[in-house]
Amino acid sequence: MSVLVGRDTRLLVQGLGREGSYHASACRAYGSNMVAGVHPNRAGAKFEDAVPVFESVKEAIAETDANVGLIFVPAPGAADAIIEQVDAGMPLIVCITEGVPVQDMVRVRAYVVGSGSRLLGPNCPGLITPGENAKIGIMPGSIHAAGKVGVVSRSGTLTYEAVDQLTRRGLGQSTVVGIGGDPINGTTFVDVLELFEADPETEAVVLLGEIGGTREQEAAEFIADRMSKPVVATIVGQSAPPGRRMGHAGAIVTGPSALASNKIAALREAGAHIAETPADIGETMAGVLK
Amino acid sequence: MSVLVGRDTRLLVQGLGREGSYHASACRAYGSNMVAGVHPNRAGAKFEDAVPVFESVKEAIAETDANVGLIFVPAPGAADAIIEQVDAGMPLIVCITEGVPVQDMVRVRAYVVGSGSRLLGPNCPGLITPGENAKIGIMPGSIHAAGKVGVVSRSGTLTYEAVDQLTRRGLGQSTVVGIGGDPINGTTFVDVLELFEADPETEAVVLLGEIGGTREQEAAEFIADRMSKPVVATIVGQSAPPGRRMGHAGAIVTGPSALASNKIAALREAGAHIAETPADIGETMAGVLK
Amino acid sequence: MKLHEYQARELLAGYGIPVPEASLATTPEEARAATEALGGRSVVKAQVHAGGRGKAGGVRLVDSPAAAAEAAEALIGTNLVTHQTSPSGAPVSSVMIAEQTAIATELYLSVLVDAQLRTPVVMASQAGGMEIERVAEETPEKIIRVAADPVFGLWPYQARDIALALDVPPALVRPTAALISSLFKLFVENDCTLVEINPLVITEDERVIALDSKIDIDDDALFRHPDLAKLADPSQDDELEQRARNAGLSYVKLDDGSVGCMVNGAGLAMATMDITLRAGTNPANFLDVGGGAQEETIAEAFDIIVSDPDVKAVLVNIFGGILRCDIAARGVVMGAHQSGSGLPIVVVMRGTNAEEGLEILRKSNLNVTFADDLSEAAPTVARVIAGGAA
Amino acid sequence: MKLHEYQARELLAGYGIPVPEASLATTPEEARAATEALGGRSVVKAQVHAGGRGKAGGVRLVDSPAAAAEAAEALIGTNLVTHQTSPSGAPVSSVMIAEQTAIATELYLSVLVDAQLRTPVVMASQAGGMEIERVAEETPEKIIRVAADPVFGLWPYQARDIALALDVPPALVRPTAALISSLFKLFVENDCTLVEINPLVITEDERVIALDSKIDIDDDALFRHPDLAKLADPSQDDELEQRARNAGLSYVKLDDGSVGCMVNGAGLAMATMDITLRAGTNPANFLDVGGGAQEETIAEAFDIIVSDPDVKAVLVNIFGGILRCDIAARGVVMGAHQSGSGLPIVVVMRGTNAEEGLEILRKSNLNVTFADDLSEAAPTVARVIAGGAA
């Protein structure tokens, strides 16, 4: 596998409501190996006549050895679902749910740190390794192609845009990871850059940042100190007015370091190749890899 | 030094009210090196015209390199004082305070575990290393003598009784540690046994247990598996009726394992020498060491 | 500190936990009116700080307001003796008049701090209605134990898992889980040491109700719960234990003991009781005078000890530390005079100012025998009781 | 969600935090009566969701009930323009009438979640009364920052340390620490994203008072705070932003923009705004239609966009994923008809059902220009606006 998910992934989907069922189905259609569902009122049933549904994560893992948990539980119960997966020993937890209260995430993050689990999200599109037919999330599978470019992003559709630009230029992806747009989340840019740097199947990385917070500056530091592979980066939100939240809870300019210009400068300084506009990501990567 | 405290001990006393001042004075008189006091309203003053008083533990450690913190803060503020010492990086914290709410200790214990600090107590008499004039607590110093017997106990005056029996028979003590009578506390029998086992200046150990809880059973397991030095043990509370609290919050028989008989059996099984009554501790140790 | 059932019920209701309709009655007339209001049938429950009321006749199903008044008449003002009370029982000064409930299933639910795990634990069982100690002994596999995180508390999924493990009807999983979460919150926010719902019932019309409940509050935390502190009912305690509490003493009366014990320190007090037993006599009490006691407190302690009619001799064992032996000795003399007790006293004194203390007692006109150490103390007491010789 | 000052004041008071005596007035008569009740002098404060009220004339010291009525008359019903509002200002529908306070010292105190530390942080400064952003820029050393434990919260000793660092008079260390602890509790229990007291004042008679306060609540947590949700005042928002919120859209109006942007996804929406700016035109808004939008929502989004009189063209950029392009296209057509707008539209569509979507738009009678990808989109819009050619 490339990073985090691949053909060894044994997927558990928690929250099989309308949205969860739709995406679980799409993940299976892409080739992901879904081994379990968890839903309090549907225990004993089979999802799509094939995948057993359990009443608790613990029971599901015991029965199926699931190793990646995908969460669609609505926001009021999302923190609890993450904790349930942590307590059940799930190695990788991917939380798609949008709108989890900030203070829930303060506590959840503190709980996850030091546990054996890694959390991706919440409010993220998930992740996909096209070369191994592992799609764990809500991204349109068809735009992806197997290849050597790792992608890490705070946003959803912008990631699709970037992937589309890459695929159109014949640049396939090793793994595409959406870390999510919330100010407090599980996995950071640095975490994923570290994985890509260590992954032999990844040759270069696209980093899609946004205004708000300082995670891009932390990424820049990591790129300067520890990355040998080329990184193409872009930061969106240059046109956003300060103090206003741009959709993502994390996308709000609260001080100088939250500005796009500051982040771009840090990344450029660190040696990243800056795509001058979000339309130039594919082209910039093509230039880097040629 | 024997275990935990000795001539390198640099004592900080937090809570210099009537009781705290009295005992701080007695610790100094015994020879302990008190380097700092902490009291919110007395910052800037000198305790006994000699020891500077600070307004916070952090400041006190920064100025004096104190390495043992002794707490006399009244029960409502005791948990906070412990945390303040933990956050300030105090290596050994000794909390004398009695009556700390159980749920405060649930949280404090969870906070201390994994920090760099060790907590002794609360509701304990403290500890003393007679051979190095280090008395960190409220025990009467005069009954102690330097020697090779380590003592660990859940109770206060019973410890004095045991020490008195030892000293009268010429059996001095390496270090005497009172772990306290509360059901949830910082340092356990096992922690102290581990230290005594590793301490070259300790040849044998007295363990004074009580009814309630299962810490004596844990001690028995440790003695069986890991102790090479002889242990003399006694358990008080054989005559206590079930369900009634005998002074110490932890001394209540709540099930078979809380019974004195069960604890004695476990310790005997583990190879400890049982002092048949609390009056036989010194005699039993004399027999073991002869 | 224990709450009465009606107090516990109100606390539960305040957390949104379903409880039976009920009200308190201190007179037969009130019991009649309350039963009337419930439609003419009720359960009349004696309010005492002890379990086992049912078997002891303290819980009565009545089918009319008149029968309720009669039951209240029979209970109020009496002492109820259960297997958990002292032989003299606990005084009934009020009864709770509760609605009768059509029970389909009886479950058990409690929260307590587990000293071994050092965190609050929820215990639940399908064997409701019986004492959990008996369940633990006979069918331990029927007990569900779920440890909460010491800091985060109980997560909702854990409450749901408990509800599922209790095998409640599907429609009740959510309300039962909510009840468990609320109960846990109540436990933490009120510094409880025990919250027990037994039985937790599923009614015939599929509701979940906390039918009977027991709540103990951490005495050490009462300083931050002034409203709870007001709920204390000292009349439920043994009279001597009440006096001891008021004096700041830690005292537990034991049945059938002849040796009154006065000791400083809980551990040494237990040790003293133990050696008393070893010497063939029975300790009459646990008593720790504490470290900061003054003469007056010691005197009151002595008075309390000798007020127990079973006591034949007093064993004073003081290891001077914070408490000086001379203070203790003066307190004993004061207490002996105050109480007018002529009982023989055996004294062991060591530590701070021991000589002064012994001198004070030697010079007193009390019936004192001295022992050199702990090993001598108990046989001396036994001899004193047996032979009477001072 | 922002609270008004008077709402924040009440919340603070509910946590035992000292606040000035005050009441709300929606008419000059109420302002007069309230000032009368305060002894004839007061401060009349316009209630709007924006800072900078003082400089904008929204805070007036008055020395008589008549003057208070006059001030209220002048403020109520107007729009107050501060540096934090839009150029048209925020509507004043009420004023708070507060007691005048004799101020000795002005301090600053706030709690917010620090995204970098991922935990709530208390910020405090002796430079009260001025904007913390300015303090941070000019004298960052004057800002005290104390991070709370993400789970345990703020320990009392930390509150005490902050009070000491603020150098309050010795007698006020304890009350100030208590105030800080209470404020932190309020922050956590109400899911705030910001609680700010500015200024926190020490009065001449040595009391500590939260003179002015600002509270923002996490929108995502309102589901568990129904009482707080009721405090929302949508009149303070831009009218188009209100409409967007009601439709479940994420929309932010920008000043002086000519290109209306309709995009799915926040990141792509920002990217779209950015390339618009690059092409020499100004984005008129941020708009994310979200993943689950239906035709009607898209139509409403389009209508909102073109309701902004500055908008000269609409750029639709949809990357079909959860949202299918055909749905988006149908929504655009519906919205254009509904709004009666004849503005030129530039469309980029990729992903799920892109072909179907493009076909729908091609067949419509709208003034649509198509772009192949993001790089082409912005120059096309610029050209459309400049030349008008479709």
How would DSSP label each residue in A216-280?
Answer: HHHHHHHHHHH--S-EEEEEE-TTPPTT---SSTT----SGGGSHHHHHHHHHHTTPEEPSSGGG
Cα dihedral sign for B74, B75, B77, B80?
Answer: positive
Residue B264 has pLDDT above 50, yes or no: yes
Annotated catalytic, A248? yes
Contact criterion met (CB below 8 Å) for A75 and A98: yes
Instruction: State the pLDDT confidence band at C209, using cuts at 50, 70 and 90.
Output: very high
Instruction: State the pLDDT confidence band at C389, using cuts at 50, 70 and 90.
Output: very low
Instruction: State the pLDDT confidence band at B29, using cuts at 50, 70 and 90.
Output: very high
Contacts of D29 (CB under 8 A, 6+ apart): D69
Residue C291 has pLDDT above 80, yes or no: no
Task: Sheet containing C345-351: give its strands across.
Answer: C250-253, C285-288, C259-263, C313-320, C345-351, C368-370
Retrieve residue C123's tokens: 């215990």
Residue in D38, D90, D342 with CA at minimum distance from that of residue D238: D90
How would DSSP label each residue in B96-127?
Answer: --S---HHHHHHHHHHHTTSS-EEE-SS--EE
Read off the DSSP letter of residue D4. Answer: P
Per-residue pLDDT tens over the stretch D91-123: 999 999 999 999 999 999 999 999 889 999 999
Give the integer Cα–Cα distance in Å for C347 and A273.
Answer: 89
How would DSSP label each residue in D314-354?
Answer: EEEEEEESSS-HHHHHHHHHHHHHHHT----EEEEEEETTH
ipTM for the predicted complex comes to 0.91
Residue C173 has pLDDT above 70, yes or no: yes
Give the integer Cα–Cα distance in Å for A70 and A73.
Answer: 9
Q: Mean pLDDT lowest for which of A209-213, D136-140, D234-238, D270-274?
A: D136-140
Give me the pLDDT at residue C255, please: 86
Give me the pLDDT at residue A42, please: 85
- Mean pLDDT in residue range D213-235: 95
Give the integer Cα–Cα distance in Å for B149 and B140.
Answer: 18
Contacts of D387 (CB under 8 A, 6+ apart): none
Peptide bond before residue D283 is cis, with ω within 30 degrees of 0: no
Catalytic residue (one of B39, B144, B248, B273): B248
What's CA A51's distance to the chain center, in Å? 24
Mutation site, B161, B179, B264, interface C, largest C CB count within 10 A:
B161
Residue in A246, A156, A237, A185 with CA at minimum distance from that of residue D265: A156
Going from the C-alpha of D315 to that of each of A164, A266, D282, the distances in angstroms are: 19, 31, 12
Instruction: Return the number of other C-beta atoms located less than 10 Å from residue A243's C-beta.
Output: 10
The size of chain C, in residues, is: 390
Give me the pLDDT at residue C244, please: 92
Residue A37 has pLDDT above 80, yes or no: yes
Contacts of C216 (CB under 8 A, 6+ apart): C1, C2, C3, C192, C193, C194, C195
- Mean pLDDT in residue range C170-181: 96
Instruction: State the pLDDT confidence band at D83, using cuts at 50, 70 and 90.
Output: confident
Give me the pLDDT at residue D243, please: 92
Give me the pLDDT at residue A252, please: 67
What share of chain B in percent tops pLDDT 70?
Answer: 98
**CATH homologous superfamily of domain D239-386?**
Succinyl-CoA synthetase domains (3.40.50.261)
Give me the pLDDT at residue C390, please: 43
Instruction: Return the number of other C-beta atoms located less than 10 Å from residue D356's C-beta.
Output: 16
- Mean pLDDT in residue range C211-227: 96
Give the integer Cα–Cα distance in Å for A175 and D264.
Answer: 23
- Mean pLDDT in residue range D227-240: 91
Give the integer Cα–Cα distance in Å for B11 and B8.
Answer: 9
Residue in C88, C153, C143 with CA at minimum distance from that of residue C119: C153
Mutation site, A54, A61, A83, A104, interface C, largest C CB count within 10 A:
A83
- Mean pLDDT in residue range A42-71: 96
Per-residue pLDDT tens over the stretch A202-236: 999 999 999 988 899 999 999 999 999 999 999 99
Q: Is there a contact between C152 and D151 if contact means CB atoms under 8 Å apart?
A: yes
Instruction: Specify which residues C153 forms β-bridges with.
Output: C149
Contact criterion met (CB below 8 Å) for A47 and A95: no
Residue B56 with chain D: CB contacts under 8 Å? 157, 160-161, 164
Per-residue pLDDT tens over the stretch C9-50: 999 999 999 999 999 999 999 999 999 999 999 999 999 998
Instruction: State the pLDDT confidence band at C220, using cuts at 50, 70 and 90.
Output: very high
Residue in A206, A185, A190 with CA at minimum distance from that of residue A125: A185
Residue in C363, C352, C357 with CA at minimum distance from that of residue C316: C357
Residue D174 has pLDDT above 60, yes or no: yes
* Chain C neighbours, 3+ Cβ pairs < 8 A: A, B, D
Q: Do the domains B11-120 and B139-289 sit in the same CATH topology, yes or no?
A: yes
Q: Domain residues of chain C, as ranges? A: 21-98, 103-229, 239-386
- Mean pLDDT in residue range B34-54: 94
Give me the pLDDT at residue D386, please: 86
Retrieve residue A194's tokens: 């570290």
Torsion of Cα atoms, C137 then C143 then C147 then C153, to 10°: -120
Contacts of A70 (CB under 8 A, 6+ apart): A11, A12, A13, A14, A23, A24, A27, A94, A96, A126, A136, A137
Give me the pLDDT at residue C238, please: 84
As a CATH number, domain C103-229 is: 3.30.470.20
Per-residue pLDDT tens over the stretch D20-31: 999 999 999 999
Per-residue pLDDT tens over the stretch B140-185: 999 999 999 999 999 989 999 999 999 999 999 999 999 999 999 9
Give me the pLDDT at residue C81, please: 92
Catalytic residue (one of A23, A39, A144, A248): A248
Residue C172 has pLDDT above 60, yes or no: yes
Give me the pLDDT at residue D389, please: 46
**CATH homologous superfamily of domain B139-289?**
Succinyl-CoA synthetase domains (3.40.50.261)
Cα dihedral sign for B66, B68, B71, B76?
Answer: positive
Task: Tell whether B75 is within 8 A of chain D (Cβ).
Answer: no
What share of chain A in percent tops pLDDT 70?
Answer: 98
- Mean pLDDT in residue range D60-83: 95
Instruction: State the pLDDT confidence band at B30, using cuts at 50, 70 and 90.
Output: very high
How would DSSP label each residue in A151-204?
Answer: EEES-SHHHHHHHHHHHHTT--EEEEEE--SSSS-SS-HHHHHHHHHH-TT--E
Residue C103 has pLDDT above 60, yes or no: yes
Mutation site, C146, C157, C162, interface A, largest A CB count within 10 A:
C157
Per-residue pLDDT tens over the stretch A79-117: 999 999 999 999 999 999 999 999 999 999 999 998 999
Instruction: Return the number of other C-beta atoms located less than 10 Å from residue C252's C-beta.
Output: 20
pTM for the structure as a whole: 0.92
Per-residue pLDDT tens over the stretch B188-229: 999 999 999 999 999 999 999 999 888 999 999 999 999 999
Per-residue pLDDT tens over the stretch D310-323: 999 999 999 988 88
Residue B246 has pLDDT above 80, yes or no: no
For chain A, the average pLDDT equals 94
Give me the pLDDT at residue D388, please: 55
Stretch (H or E) spanning C122? strand C119-125
- Which amino acid, D339? S
Residue B3 has pLDDT above 90, yes or no: yes
Q: Are strands B92-95 and B68-71 parallel, antiparallel or unpaired?
A: parallel
Instruction: Return the number of other C-beta atoms located less than 10 Å from residue C26's C-beta.
Output: 14
Residue in C147, C220, C226, C197 with CA at minimum distance from that of residue C15: C197
Instruction: State the pLDDT confidence band at D390, using cuts at 50, 70 and 90.
Output: very low
Residue A56 with chain C: CB contacts under 8 Å? 157, 160-161, 164
Residue in C5, C22, C13, C10 with CA at minimum distance from that of residue C182: C13
Instruction: State the pLDDT confidence band at C388, using cuts at 50, 70 and 90.
Output: low
Give me the pLDDT at residue B249, please: 66
Q: Is there a contact between B111 and D152 if contact means CB atoms under 8 Å apart?
A: yes
- Mean pLDDT in residue range A182-189: 94
Residue D170 with chain B: CB contacts under 8 Å? 41
Residue C270 has pLDDT above 90, yes or no: yes
Window 138-177 of B: residues touching D by CB (8 A cutoff) are none
**CATH homologous superfamily of domain C21-98?**
ATP-grasp fold, A domain (3.30.1490.20)
CA of B63 to nearest chain C CA: how many angstroms apart?
Answer: 31
Give the integer Cα–Cα distance in Å for B54 and B39.
Answer: 6
* Chain A neighbours, 3+ Cβ pairs < 8 A: C, D
Retrieve residue C93's tokens: 């000064």
Residue D292 with chain A: CB contacts under 8 Å? 19
Q: Which CATH architecture has domain A11-120?
A: 3-Layer(aba) Sandwich (3.40)
Q: Is there a contact between D170 and B41 if contact means CB atoms under 8 Å apart?
A: yes
Per-residue pLDDT tens over the stretch A12-31: 999 999 999 999 999 999 99
Give the integer Cα–Cα distance in Å for B37 and B14.
Answer: 6
What share of chain A in percent tops pLDDT 90?
Answer: 86
Residue C387 has pLDDT above 80, yes or no: no
Longest Cα–Cα distance of chain B, Å, equals 56
Residue D362 has pLDDT above 50, yes or no: yes
Residue B41 with chain D: CB contacts under 8 Å? 170
Instruction: Specify which residues D95 forms β-bridges with.
Output: D25, D46
Give me the pLDDT at residue B251, please: 67
Q: Domain residues of chain B, as ranges? A: 11-120, 139-289
Give the integer Cα–Cα distance in Å for C186 and C174.
Answer: 18
Residue with tokens 């916070």: B56
Instruction: Specify which residues D112 forms β-bridges with.
Output: D121, D194
Contact criterion met (CB below 8 Å) for C11 and C191: no
Per-residue pLDDT tens over the stretch B61-114: 999 999 999 999 999 999 999 999 999 999 999 999 999 999 999 999 999 998
Cβ-based contacts under 8 A for chains B and C = 180
Give me the pLDDT at residue C83, please: 84
Residue D38 has pLDDT above 50, yes or no: yes
Residue C87 has pLDDT above 60, yes or no: yes
Give me the pLDDT at residue A282, please: 96
